[in-house]
Amino acid sequence: MEKNLSRNKPAVSKDASVSHSQDAKTRRQLPKLDDFLSQRDFTGAMTLLEFQRQSGKPVDDNDVWIAYCAFHLGEYKQAMEEYEKITKKKGFNPETWSNLACCYFYLGLYKEADEAVAKGPKGQLKNRLSFHLSHKFNDEKRLMVHHQQLQDIIQDQLSLASIHYLRSHYQEAIDIYKRILLDNRQYLALNVYVALCYYKLDYYDVSQEVLAVYLQQHPDSSIATNLKACNNFRLYSGKAAESELKTLQDLVSPSFNFGKDLIKHNLVVFRAGDGALQVLPPLVDVIPEARLNLVIYYLRQGRICLFIDELVDAYNLIKDLEPTVPQEYILKGVVNAALGQEQGSREHMKTAQQYFQLVGGSASECDTIPGRQCMASCFFLLKQFDDVLLYLNSIKSYFYNDDLYNFNYAQAKAAVGKYAEAEEIFLIIQKELLKNDYVYVSWLARCYIMNRKARLAWELYLKMETSAESFSLLQLMANDCYKVGQFYYAAKAFDVLERLDPNPEYWEGKRGACVGVFQMIIAGHEPKESLVDVVQLLRNTNNPQVDYMLRIMKKWAKENRGEREGGRRVL
């Protein structure tokens, strides 16, 4: 108590109390809208504007500013609703129609955007938006009208560059962006656009270098980090790409829905389709690539599980898509080819061939790897395998260890009679999915037979379960072995066929093959012990001709004194 009453100096000075009072006054002052806007803090600005509106003390044009902030936050639906309310008020600014049209455009409501922009005043924004709408409507004549009205100002040139990008004219877009950057180095975001163009041109390493300029200043950019992840996916692997997005997932603000959707979409791609059915369907009309990647997922599932329903789903997703870029033409071609092969549809196969020819024959794609793959696919469907090999040989060095490439390459080699090379290529394929495919098994069996290794072909058959495919393989082996004089295994194949289906043709084939084996034994080209198996095969058939054949064989064996070979009696 004594100490509290005997201070030598005051605990708080008079000046300090004044300062404390000023600080409290400062804290009580609300931040200004201009402060948020100057810092591009649209979330803060939106919060302030909503608070002022609810408190009954809105600033001038409060609704306009809320719509403006919502638009810049990517909340296009909210911005649209605000602008629609404004258009119902008296004396609103006519520019509102152009702003509303922009919201419609970003929401994919192109017809509504076109109607709204027509009500707005003439100006560069109206022309730019009409320019983009013309592209969306595929109206070339109207596009050129608005193109001619573009001026040499940054906004118009950026709009022109974006149209070049959308039309796959990536180098033209790069030229515009670089020209703007020369005089405006502070526009760092243009580096992201340049990097995106290089990504589309498959220059992933160059894209990374350009992107680094922007990421040094803005390491938390979701768009730039996502593009970096995509480059890593192309250059390295899905895991490398996914690691780039891990930190980004926590940085994206809750209001930035587009960023979140983009990340979810790309994670599905990086994870080879894991979670595709949960993530991609809602994004089909939000992110353009979502539709294409969902189609790819269905294609893979249809091929893996042999589900025709999956291929039909893929076809239904893409059938109404009007392709504008090579990737879309290629995907439509692949879907039609897959469905055509499964359904035996000539119409689908012809459509696929036309799409492949369009891409492979185009001036921009004819010398690219995808372009040459397309021409190979086109000739494959036309069964012109010499031409298939011409194109596949030109890109062989890029796909040495690619199982799908080798699968098609080996088929083409076999189709032109180069069975030794085809066998070698078939045997380097590693994927069990392909090795269990009947197309693989049947072609490899044919290569073995043509290379005089019929025993290996027979072993392939023995590994198969009884099915329509194993029956088809027996037919192939029986006929091919007979053609090339591999009569022993031809007889075995015809024997099994005859027991499965008592067709007279199979008996005739077995009879001829057995005679062929007998002739080869007599000529010394077949071990004598094989005659034991031939006799047993003949006895499996109840036919009068069997007794006559057995008598001749027994007579020959008797004349050759019933010699033994390998511990087995010839007869």
Q: Are residues 39 and 114 in the same domain?
A: yes
Is 335 a member of any domain?
no
Would you say residue 45 has pLDDT above 90? Answer: no
Q: Are residues 120 and 186 in the same domain?
A: no
Instruction: Give 261-301 pLDDT, tens digit per residue.
Output: 888 899 999 998 899 999 999 998 888 889 999 999 988 87
Cα(140)–Cα(396) distance, rounded to whole angstroms? 40
Specify the 3-state DSSP secondary structure of 569: strand
Would you say residue 167 has pLDDT above 80? Answer: yes
Residue pair 76/106 in contact (Cβ under 8 Å)? The answer is: yes
Question: Please, is 132 exposed, middle or buried when counting C-beta atoms within 10 Å of its C-beta (0-12, 13-18, 19+)?
Answer: buried
- Which of 263-277, 322-336, 549-563 shows the lowest mean pLDDT across its residues? 549-563
Backbone angles phi, psi at 561, to 5 degrees: 60, 30
Average pLDDT value for residue range 214-218? 92
Q: Are residues 224 and 112 in the same domain?
A: no
3-class SS string, 316-336? HHHCCCCCCCHHHHHHHHHHH
Q: Which residue has the higher pLDDT, 28 or 429?
A: 429
Q: Are residues 137 and 172 in the same domain?
A: no
Cα(157)–Cα(151) distance, rounded to whole angstroms? 7
What confidence category does residue 7 fall into, taking pLDDT thresholds of 50, 70 and 90? Answer: very low
Q: Is the pTM of this model over 0.75?
A: no
Instruction: Give 453-498 pLDDT, tens digit per residue.
Output: 999 999 999 999 989 999 999 999 999 999 999 999 999 999 999 9
Q: What is the CATH number of the domain that holds 212?
A: 1.25.40.10
Per-residue confidence (pLDDT) for residue 3, from 0 to 100: 37
Query: Among 479, 511, 532, where does a domain finish?
Result: 479
Q: Are residues 182 and 233 in the same domain?
A: yes
How many domains does the structure of the chain reveal?
4
Per-residue confidence (pLDDT) for residue 527, from 0 to 100: 87
Per-residue confidence (pLDDT) for residue 301, from 0 to 100: 78
Per-residue confidence (pLDDT) for residue 256, from 0 to 100: 52
Would you say residue 370 has pLDDT above 70? Answer: yes
Instruction: Give 104-137 pLDDT, tens digit per residue.
Output: 999 989 999 999 999 999 999 999 999 999 999 9
Is 384 a member of any domain?
no
Backbone angles phi, psi at 221, to 5 degrees: -70, 120
Is 20 a member of any domain?
no
The range of the structural domain enclosing residue 49 comes to 32-141
Q: Are residues 127 and 168 in the same domain?
A: no
DSSP string for residues in 200-218: HTT-HHHHHHHHHHHHHH-
Residue pair 225/248 in contact (Cβ under 8 Å)? The answer is: yes
Would you say residue 4 has pLDDT above 50? Answer: no
Rounded to the nearest 10 degrees, the angle between the axes of helix 468-483 and helix 487-500 is 150
Cα(35)–Cα(284) distance, rounded to whole angstroms? 38
Average pLDDT value for residue range 415-433? 95
Q: Are residues 198 and 180 in the same domain?
A: yes
Would you say residue 387 has pLDDT above 70? Answer: yes
Tokens of residue 116, six digits? 């709204």
Per-residue confidence (pLDDT) for residue 350, from 0 to 100: 96
Q: Are residues 406 and 493 in the same domain?
A: no
Which is nearest to 488 in space by CA: 530, 459, 450? 530
Residue pair 27/14 in contact (Cβ under 8 Å)? The answer is: no
Query: Among 224, 241, 272, where does a domain finish?
Result: 272
% of the chain at pLDDT higher than 90: 59
Per-residue confidence (pLDDT) for residue 28, from 0 to 100: 54
Q: Are residues 196 and 105 in the same domain?
A: no
Query: Among 240, 272, 304, where does a domain finish?
Result: 272
Q: Are residues 42 and 115 in the same domain?
A: yes
Is 11 a member of any domain?
no
Rounded to the nearest 10 degrees, the angle between the axes of helix 544-559 and helix 504-522 is 10
Q: Which residue has the higher pLDDT, 27 or 471?
A: 471
Would you say residue 328 has pLDDT above 70? Answer: yes
Residue pair 45/32 in contact (Cβ under 8 Å)? The answer is: no
Q: Are residues 119 and 166 in the same domain?
A: no
Query: How distant is the alpha carbon of residue 372 from its chain centre?
Result: 18
% of the chain at pLDDT higher than 70: 89
Is 65 a member of any domain?
yes
Cα(233)–Cα(230) distance, rounded to whole angstroms? 5
Per-residue confidence (pLDDT) for residue 55, from 0 to 100: 82
Is 468 a member of any domain?
yes
What confidence category does residue 356 fall into, taking pLDDT thresholds of 50, 70 and 90? Answer: very high
Q: Are residues 164 and 266 in the same domain?
A: yes
Per-residue confidence (pLDDT) for residue 10, from 0 to 100: 45
Which is nearest to 280 in space by CA: 289, 272, 271? 289
Average pLDDT value for residue range 64-83? 92
Average pLDDT value for residue range 412-419? 97
Is 168 a member of any domain?
yes
Per-residue confidence (pLDDT) for residue 252, from 0 to 100: 55
Q: What is the CATH number of the domain that holds 470?
A: 1.25.40
Per-residue confidence (pLDDT) for residue 14, from 0 to 100: 46
Instruction: Give 519-529 pLDDT, tens digit per residue.
Output: 998 888 888 88
Is 133 a member of any domain?
yes
